[in-house]
Amino acid sequence: MIKIEKHNEYYEKYLSDLAEHMDKPQEQTEPIHVGEKIKHMRETQGLSIEELARKTGFDVAMLENVEQEKVIPPLGTMIRLSRALNTVMSSLFSSQEEQVHYSVVRVNDQKSAPLPTGRASYHSYIPLAADLKDRHMDPFIVKLNPEKAKDVVPSVHEGEELIYVIDGEVKITIEDKVEILGLGDALYLKSTTPHIVITNTDKPALILAIMYS
């Protein structure tokens, strides 16, 4: 954890609890099963997995792993999948059926996407406004893990995004440029530009990511 000049026990406890919470999504009573929802939407629309692969440009094998929740899809991948399924990204996380005009996520109710059993992932995330449909921004708390960081491929999708570092050190590669961000640093980018966001050390980092589409 990054050392703060002015000691702040409350903030440090918040970071510690948040990191621990994101490490144990399988223990939550109602985890978010994104893969199941993607498969259900695809089948409801009469799309084969091969047709979804053609619409998104993703490999069939990768889509099968996503639907079976063997991998956690990056947020950019989620956006492309939701567009191909003619829905908003929030619908992949929401259990809310009725129309609401605002969304409140209490700290004790935050749920992260399930981590694949026995598999390392370079990130996990918590949606912060999943129940509000027909919106233009998608806010997430994202934990960037050092595991498999070297395997991350550039993300490209429609829209824009803001990245704000909550804890740790983050390396963001945008085309051929590299930016290193520390606690409190922020970066805003056009998401159509190829980019990679990973932790810059052998320790996890936490960011607030807000995506606009």
CATH of the domain at 40: 2.60.120.10
Q: Does residue 103 sit within a domain?
A: yes
Q: Does residue 121 sit within a domain?
A: yes
Q: How far is CA 189 from the centre of its chain?
A: 16
Number of domains comprising the chain: 1
Element (H, E) at 51: helix 49-56
Q: Does residue 3 sit within a domain?
A: no
Q: Does residue 2 sit within a domain?
A: no
The single residue listed with the structure tokens 């810059």 is 200
Burial letters 94-103, b for 16+ CB under 10 A, else e: beeeeeeeeb
Provide the residue-wise pLDDT of the chain in tens; the chain has 213 residues: 545 555 577 777 777 777 776 666 444 445 667 888 899 899 999 999 999 999 988 999 999 999 998 887 777 788 888 888 887 666 677 665 556 677 777 766 666 555 444 445 677 778 887 777 777 888 888 889 887 777 788 888 888 999 999 999 999 999 989 999 999 999 999 989 999 999 999 999 999 999 887
Q: Does residue 164 sit within a domain?
A: yes
Q: Does residue 100 sit within a domain?
A: yes
| CA–CA distance, 35 with 71 (Å, rounded to integer) | 9
Q: Does residue 184 sit within a domain?
A: yes
| CA–CA distance, 156 with 159 (Å, rounded to integer) | 9
Enclosing domain of residue 198: 9-212
